[in-house]
Homo-oligomer: A and B are copies of this chain.
Amino acid sequence: MKATIITIGDEILIGQIVDTNSVSIARHLNGAGITVESKLSIGDSDHQIESSIRTALLTSQVVVITGGLGPTKDDITKHTLARIFNSELRYNDTEGQHIESLLARRGIAFTELNRSQAMLPACCTPLHNAHGTAPGMWFECEGDAVVVSLPGVPFEMEHLMQDEVIPRLKKRFMLKSIVHLTLITHGIAESLLAERIAAWEDALPDYMHLAYLPAPNIVRLRLSAYDVERSEAEVAMRQEFGKLEQLIGDHIVGEEGASVESNVHRILSERGLTLATAESCTGGNIAASFTSMAGASAYFLTGIVAYSNAAKSNILGVDSATIERHGAVSREVVEQMAEGARRISGADYAIATSGIAGPSGGSVEKPVGTVWMAVATPTRTISMMRNSGTDRQQIIKRASAYVVEMLYNELRKL
**Which listed residue, B27, B103, B106, B211, touches A15 by the CB 8 Å rule?**
B27
Question: Which residues of chain B are near A30, meaning CB under 8 Å?
Answer: 14-15
Residue of A15, A38, A112, A201 with most partner-chain B CB within 10 A: A15
Please state if A392 and B294 are interface contacts (CB–CB under 8 Å). yes
Which chain B residue shows the least CB distance to A158?
Answer: B391
How far is it, in angstroms, between the C-alpha of A220 and the C-alpha of B300 when the chains are bound?
Answer: 36
How far is it, in angstroms, between the C-alpha of A103 and the C-alpha of B192 when the chains are bound?
Answer: 11
Taking the complex as formed, is A394 at the interface, i.e. its CB lies under 8 A from any CB of chain B?
Answer: yes
* Per-residue contact bits, chain A 30-60, to B (CB 8 Å; 1 contact, 0 not): 1000011111111110001000100000000
Please state if B18 and A20 are interface contacts (CB–CB under 8 Å). yes
Contacts A10-B224, A15-B27, A108-B189 given: A305-B283 contact, CB under 8 Å? Answer: no
Contacts A11-B213, A14-B27, A113-B194 given: A302-B297 contact, CB under 8 Å? Answer: no
How far is it, in angstroms, between the C-alpha of A174 and the C-alpha of B46 when the chains are bound?
Answer: 29
Please state if A194 and B303 are interface contacts (CB–CB under 8 Å). no
Residue of A13, A19, A391 with most partner-chain B CB within 10 A: A13
Taking the complex as formed, is A238 at the interface, i.e. its CB lies under 8 A from any CB of chain B?
Answer: no
Question: Which residues of chain B are near A112, meaning CB under 8 Å?
Answer: 195
Taking the complex as formed, is A414 at the interface, i.e. its CB lies under 8 A from any CB of chain B?
Answer: no
Question: Which residues of chain B are near A106, meaning CB under 8 Å?
Answer: 189, 387
How far is it, in angstroms, between the C-alpha of A173 and the C-alpha of B357 when the chains are bound?
Answer: 36
Taking the complex as formed, is A72 at the interface, i.e. its CB lies under 8 A from any CB of chain B?
Answer: yes
The distance from the CB of A48 to the nearest CB of chain B, in whole angstroms, is 7
Please state if B307 and A14 are interface contacts (CB–CB under 8 Å). no
Please state if B18 and A23 are interface contacts (CB–CB under 8 Å). yes
How far is it, in angstroms, between the C-alpha of A357 and the C-alpha of B345 when the chains are bound?
Answer: 22
Stretch at the interface among A82-90, A239-247, A308-316: A308-316
**Which listed residue, B26, B73, B282, B296, touches A13 by the CB 8 Å rule?**
B26
Q: Could you list 9 further interchain pairs (A-B, Cβ under 8 angstroms) beyond the known A277-B284, A284-B284, A310-B345?
A: A13-B26, A16-B182, A17-B23, A159-B391, A294-B359, A300-B307, A300-B308, A301-B307, A304-B315
